[in-house]
Amino acid sequence: MIQLDPGNVLLKPSQRRQLMTWLRRSLKLGQRLGDFLLSISLKRVGKTYDIIARVHDRAGDFICRARRHDLRGALRDLARTLSTRIHSQFVLRAALV
């Protein structure tokens, strides 16, 4: 499940759809891990976008952060980081079982 808190950032519907497509792989891996919750909060500070993602699943909890001047780049960096971190949790959990 995803919880999106846009904060003081206005997201167009097309940007929301694009974010969901970027997060598709992370969601599938998280669902395979079980008990998956992803909460994303966006905040604009001056000219930069600060995005914080908190992930909770059976393998553990972690926080990812992306900070950039353009929203699209920050969201893309966050999606890539989330995908690699969740994948590494999935691999570690599979190795332990």
- The type of residue at 20 is M
- In terms of DSSP H, where are the helices of 7-70? 13-22, 24-33
Full-model pTM: 0.89
pLDDT string in tens for the chain (97-residue length): 899 999 999 999 999 999 999 999 999 999 998 899 999 999 999 999 999 999 999 888 999 999 999 999 999 999 999 999 999 998 988 887 7
What domains does the chain contain, in order, with CATH numbers?
2-96 (3.30.160.100)
